[in-house]
Structure 1
Amino acid sequence: TIEGRDGIKNLLENRLVPTGLVNLRLSHEDLRAPEIQRLFPDLVLLRLCFEFGTKVGKGTAVCYLVPIPGSKWKAYSLFTCLESLNDFPEQIGSLRKRTVEHGTWEERRRQEEELVNGDPTVVVIGAGHTGLEIAARLKYIGIPHLVIDKNARVGDSWRNRYKALSLHDTIWYNQTPYLPFPPTWPVYSPAPKLAGWLEGYASYLELNVWTSSTITKTQWNDEAKTWTVEITREGKETRVLKVKHLVFATGFGGRPVMPDLPGKSDFKGEVVHSSQFTSASHYVGKKAVVVGACSSAHDIAQDFFNHGVDITMYQRSSTFVMSDVAVAELLGTYFKEGIPTDLADVYNTSLPNAVVRRIHQRTVPFTAETTDKAILDGLAKAGFKTNLGPYGAGLIPLLFDRSGGYYMDTGTSQHIIDGEIKIKSGSSIERFTETGLKFADGSELEADIIVFATGYGDPRDSMRAICGSDVADKVVPLWHLDEEGQSSGVWRPCGHDGLWFGVGNLALSRFHSLHLAMQIKAIEAGVLKRSEVTF
């Protein structure tokens, strides 16, 4: 995002002519036609949608105008999004495969999956939703790919987590590229159900995935611009591949973070991180403590309550809480029945993050005093501390700056309000005891199991373990918003040639996986010269 007259002037002078902008056309079709948007009584925008072309591709632009005195309008922001490459369109729709395969399909797929005809161009590490969506985009833009995952089955990254896990945002927000959920799908997807969907997704889209596989060694050749990648499959076979690009799709965080507290060896119960927890069904009739008060902590506490376990949540700091009703209202502006997902993605991204933050600085306090007032008041009475997020802007800055610190309520808050899930806060943990935890104020909590829902470390951790410190030290910090208000190092060059990161929920991965695939395709086709890639 570039702002200010001088910055925009400099951008246009340097990029407009080389880009070769052509065929700029105002859209008049349904949902793309000019539209007045009254965000607040004192804030009105006129949204215009354009189609455009460049020397290399086609895309969509969204411009917002604001009224000024004299019944005139002035440009406020302009968003451009490249959606296809001229010479390399996605092989979908009318461009889909038309060859009739009489008894040859199974053998063809076997050869593709086993790389019989040569090494892939890209290795994607991680077969969760992000890795699969990246692989799908690569495949249908003509880039040979291979996805590596340590788990036994596609979807295990969701299937093997705690049983109470469910998506907290809606089906319309979480659609997968090329294969939308059926109309029977529930609004909120349980994790095991999503895991099954991802397994089917990989199969139906014919993605090349090696499960039960790990990368044991990598080496970058800067002269040849290739990676040598050593992969062990099922602990038996070892394959060595030469590829042009590595894409890490291993999630928001790195290694699980566990506080180093004294006395752990004294504790007679069980201590696990939320990433290791599976089900509360093993602890019926016992006492549990969950350390943490954001999404995972709430889901796990809910699971304990559902199984009749005496559960206390220890809250270290305040949490931003938004009800499912408010979340549906927030996402429902664009992500709802009747609006194509591709267009919803464009509109949802069409205002700069800094502007969205300012808008939410007005909407979030209003929601807290209206839609969510009863929940927030009840939580306060129960001793659960809430906040309005950074800058008073709620969820969005927490998502893009921290990827944490919030809970989108799908029912647990009421159990806290009713006292069915107890809250402990206001004093730091001093140490473990034989029977639980002791706090600085002298109080103690008894527990048979303590679950630390305390987050994850640097998302570069998994890459460092595979690629080594020489590579990792060149990679910029990931995910937070940079000086231009964009996510640092993800879906874009990260600081090391031939290395990429895909990070995000289903919606962000759906949208930006295409941009990542187009960048790789443009580099491999010579449309984008490596010397032009900036970090």
Structure 2
Amino acid sequence: MLGFSSESRGKEAHDLFLNRMPVWVDGAIIVGAGPSGMATAACLKEKGVPSILIEKAECIGSLWKHRTYDRLHLHIPKEFCELPLMPFPASYPTYPNRQQFLDYLEAYARHFDLQPHFNESVQSAHYDRDAEVWRVNTVTCGKSNSNKVEEYTARWLIVASGENAEIVMPKLPGMKEYQGDLMHSSMYKNGSEYVGKKVLVVGCGNSGMEIALDLANFNAKPSLVVRGPVHVLPREIFGRSTFSVAVKLMRTFPVWLTDWLLVFYTWLTLGNVANYGFNRPKEGPMELKHKVGKTPILDVGTVNKIKSGHIKVVPRVTSLTNNGVRFENGLTDSYDAVILATGYRSNVPRWLKGEEKFFSVDGFPKRPSPNGWKGDDGLYAVGLGRKGLLGASMDARNIAEDIRKSYESRQLAEDRCGNHIR
């Protein structure tokens, strides 16, 4: 029996009057059916704990399906990206491509019989202290359930909505006046429609660098905006993944020495990247990744295209003009298209209410990884530690084990209560 207060009972009566009786979930509510949410649902199922997955899109892994470019591959080896309890197929290459990863996610969902509630967008979630449950309100927008409102209640709430839930669009002067193609990188697929055209890519993260490379391979004329200091590393060192090499080095050496070795090897293979417009931060690549979650660029050929002149590096943009942009050095240039590789952000602050103690204003746990997966009152976060798929899998395992203990204790207490009544 749940100990609902008079206030909570009054709310239930009001919901019933509106034909919206809360749906009780005997387990956990998981917001988001991307890799993080599915990994957690699978781990919970393996522990015998039920859950429901709520997903605003019409499919699993919607970011990978709808917001990624065609040539995308995993930037680190598959063994660091597999979800718990199910490895990638042995036939997959070291760096699976976009479609292979999507196929893996579909197979994962089938294997664990994960059936998310699709097209269901969470509008708000809060902890009801009187009833000691989480209340999650959703709206379903589908062909057969247009604007259907629902409320779920459960003991546990797992935030798996992702680091990349919403695109970041900068507000640059002149955006309305610009007459060329203007888009966020999430809309870019390939460079086939830009052959022979001048294209400006704003942002030099891994996505921006690879989109510029893709444009050059399609014989476009790309320019790349480098907005600030950034680490560029080769994807492989002596035929082995730079990421795996860094992990092994850090098991033996301190982070500062690992960073020095990585940067030194980069200098040997790529040369002094500062000569091509990439100034390095003061902190080393692994130190920076640990401190703020900033991922170094793993070069897959872009630097060579810059060296050969097929990609031009340009300064920061201050505004757009009718037919191009104005740079911070005062110069202007014309472009047929501008692609904003300006990243994504968490959307947690928009819908999760009253949890400022656990989540920062930018929608990430305040506690640094690997300790940011557990909050208070049955609140959890998975895949928000800026540690990629490997970090999400670790979160999922920790969360499932933690909930299992509470779930089994509650079941035992309820069984004892039932036996006493009988």
TM over 0.5: yes
Partner of 1:491: 373
Contact 1:247/1:502 (8 A) holds in 2 = yes
The 2-side partners of 1:322 and 1:217 are apart by 41
Displacement of 1:166: 1.8
Displacement of 1:120: 4.1
- Report runs of 4+ in structure 1 exceeding 4 Å deviation: 355-358, 478-482
Displacement of 1:464: 2.2
Displacement of 1:320: 0.4
Task: Show the 5 A alignment for 1:399-418.
Answer: 399-404=289-294, 406-418=296-308
Stretches of structure 2 lacking an aligned partner (at least 5 in a row): 1-22, 411-422
Select 2:336's aligned residue among 448, 452, 458: 448
Partner letter of residue 292 of structure 2?
R
Q: CA RMSD in A?
A: 2.8
The superposition leaves residues 93-127 of structure 1 with CA deviations (integer Å, 9 ceiling, x where unpaired) of: xxxxxxxxxxxxxxxxxxxxxxxx96342111111
Greater RCO, CA 8 A, separation 6+? 2
2:196 matched to 1:313?
no
Partner of 2:92: 185
The 2-side partners of 1:385 and 1:434 are apart by 29
SS of equivalent to 2:176? helix
2:271 matched to 1:376?
yes
Select 1:463's aligned residue among 348, 351, 357: 348
Contact 1:151/1:212 (8 A) holds in 2 = yes
Partner of 2:138: 231
SS of equivalent to 2:122? strand
2:36 matched to 1:130?
yes
| Change in CA separation of 1:432 and 1:329 when aligned onto 2, cut-off 3 Å | closer
The 2-side partners of 1:374 and 1:178 are apart by 37
SS of equivalent to 2:64? helix
Q: Which moved more, 1:257-266 or 1:270-279?
A: 270-279
Task: Show the 5 A alignment for 1:54-69.
Answer: none
Partner of 1:107: none
| Change in CA separation of 1:431 and 1:374 when aligned onto 2, cut-off 3 Å | same
The 2-side partners of 1:215 and 1:172 are apart by 33
Displacement of 1:135: 0.9
Contact 1:357/1:397 (8 A) holds in 2 = no
2:382 matched to 1:502?
yes
Partner of 1:22: none
The 1-side partners of 2:26 and 2:190 are apart by 39
Stretches of structure 1 lacking an aligned partner (at least 5 in a row): 1-116, 336-347, 528-535
SS of equivalent to 1:288? strand
Partner letter of residue 119 of structure 1?
V
Select 1:261's aligned residue among 153, 156, 172: 172
Contact 1:489/1:501 (8 A) holds in 2 = no
Count of residue pairs the alignment pairs up: 377
Partner letter of residue 373 of structure 1?
L
Select 2:203's aligned residue among 285, 288, 292: 292
The 2-side partners of 1:466 and 1:481 are apart by 17
The sequence identity of aligned pairs, in percent, is 25
Partner of 1:520: 403
2:161 matched to 1:250?
yes
Contact 2:70/2:190 (8 A) holds in 1 = yes
The 2-side partners of 1:454 and 1:308 are apart by 23
Partner of 1:152: 58
SS of equivalent to 1:370? helix
Task: Show the 5 A alignment for 1:346-385.
Answer: 359-370=254-265, 372-377=267-272, 379-381=273-275, 383-385=276-278
SS of equivalent to 1:146? strand
The superposition leaves residues 260-292 of structure 1 with CA deviations (integer Å, 9 ceiling, x where unpaired) of: 221111110122222333333333332211111
Select 1:397's aligned residue among 287, 292, 303: 287
The superposition leaves residues 196-238 of structure 1 with CA deviations (integer Å, 9 ceiling, x where unpaired) of: 2101111111123122221234342112221222333343144
2:300 matched to 1:436?
no
